[in-house]
Amino acid sequence: MIQEVSAGGIVFFKNSILMLKKFNGDWVLPKGRVEENELLEETALREVYEETKAKVTTIKYLGKINYEFNRTCYMDRIHINKEVHWYLMMAHNMNCTAQ
């Protein structure tokens, strides 16, 4: 089993929440994997910016969730245990561009 740690943001601006629509039609919140020597909050800010170009400020840490799934890689099924840390964030404006 592989352990993955990610962080992301629930980003609001006035009465809107920023979500991303994936190519398969799913709606998701911006998040991504923690890089080496990176703090969780730094990851969340970086991923929100990389995926949306939105400039945000962190309000507070909300907590973490855990889930498991299987990924197929070269005919092998890999079991992943994922931990995602979420931050509440406020956007300075809603001028953003999806990745």
- Residue 26: pLDDT band with limits 50, 70, 90: very high
**Residue whose token pair is 């890089």:** 35
pLDDT at res. 93: 76
The highest-confidence range among 26-30, 67-71, 73-77, 90-94, by mean pLDDT, is 26-30
Domains of the chain (ranges, CATH numbers): 2-91 (3.90.79.10)
Distant-in-sequence, close-in-space partners of 46: CB < 8 Å, separation ≥ 6: 32, 35, 38
* pLDDT exceeds cutoff 70 at 24: yes
Number of C-beta neighbours around residue 41 at 10 A: 15
Rounded to an integer, the average pLDDT of 40-46 is: 98
* pTM, to two decimals: 0.87
For 11, the 3-state DSSP assignment is strand
Q: How far apart are CA 5 and CA 80, in angstroms?
A: 10
DSSP per residue, 12-27: EETTEE--EE-TTS-E
Q: For the chain, what percent of residues have pLDDT higher than 70?
A: 95
Q: Does the pLDDT value for residue 27 go beyond 70?
A: yes
